[in-house]
Copies of this chain bind each other. A is one copy, B any other.
């Protein structure tokens, strides 16, 4: 049996290209005692992966060259030499950019069994790491109360769409920022946001700032930042006193030199709190977050949208497109036919 996988061939300079990846096919090795063979159904593509591809100082070790790209996966156990797993079990793991993974499942937590109440792919999105990221930043950092206005960038993405929907459920006015009129229409019509600004039509921070002021007439009390750069600048200029900003992503910076913050003086004059976080460091929050998210998803209370690329060989192109904002909703790669 062959396993096709994608390794990091070289570290990207700026925007990644297909040449930074290499596709390999290798035989699947035989299982040793305690191991499990998982066939991946879906691979998750997430912005954090761009950070791992660099060897700059960061919160996590860089992705090693010539090794399979890191990534979250859901799939089904094909064979098991581990007493806890059986063929047919649905599992979540960090299987990487490949069709199969042989997992030493005796390490606790490395493979998690999934119940059958939701489609497998949902555990990589709204009821997985992106959903918990949204829940943590909104609940633990922004902490909106009814009447607050919450802004969120990358508003229709895997994280942003959950941020806004949870904020609406907590009584906030929600202003999304997304790229393009289709995404904005989805944000207001399907996700239920109160307003959505198309940053592609608002080219300067000043224009975006004016549009934010109109969309948030009482000012912005909380901001879930997935992009940094000029959008963060525009939100800060419209932030109310004591506004809280959860800093979750800086896509604007992933592909090149740091983008400065235009007016840090506002941190003082508006008494802002900015807090960067990585959801994997807050394991204590996961059970509570997943309980709420899976309940909402099971009840059909959470709108979920996915962009699905077909086949492992499509992963690099889908990843590059996601960094450009070409995806619409959670970006997945489907690894079965």
Contacts and interface: CB of A to CB of B under 8 A. Distances in A.
B267 A276 contact: yes
Given A57-B269, A269-B58, A269-B59, A250 B276 contact: no
A274 B270 contact: no
A201 interface: no
B276 A275 contact: no
Nearest to A267: B276
A48 to B, nearest CB: 10
Nearest to A59: B269
Given A59-B270, A272-B276, A273-B273, A265 B250 contact: yes
A264 B260 contact: yes
Interface stretch (A4-12, A19-27, A241-249, A291-299): A241-249
Interface residues of A, number: 33
Contacts of A261: 260-261, 264
Contacts of A276: 267-273
Interface string A262-291: 111101111111111110010000000000
Query: How many copies of the polypeptide does the oligomer hold?
Result: 2
Contact of A59 (B228, B250, B264, B271): B271
Interface in A71-119: none
Interface in A227-267: 228, 232, 241, 247-250, 253, 258-265, 267
B258 A265 contact: yes
Contacts of A271: 59, 275-278, 281
A134 to B, nearest CB: 16
A268 B250 CA distance: 8
Interface in A27-73: 51, 57-59
A265 B58 CA distance: 10
A248 B275 contact: no
A258 B262 contact: yes
A232 B264 contact: yes
Interface centre among A228, A248, A274, A277 (most CB of B within 10 A): A274
A123 B173 CA distance: 45
Contacts of A264: 228, 232, 247, 250, 258-261
Contacts of A275: 267, 271-274
B59 A241 contact: yes
Contacts of A57: 269
Nearest to A254: B265
A249 B268 CA distance: 7
Interface of A: 51, 57-59, 228, 232, 241, 247-250, 253, 258-265, 267-278, 281
12 contacts: A59-B241, A59-B271, A247-B264, A258-B262, A258-B263, A260-B260, A261-B264, A268-B278, A271-B275, A271-B281, A273-B273, A273-B275
Given A247-B264, A258-B265, A271-B276, 4 more contacts: A228-B268, A250-B264, A260-B260, A272-B275
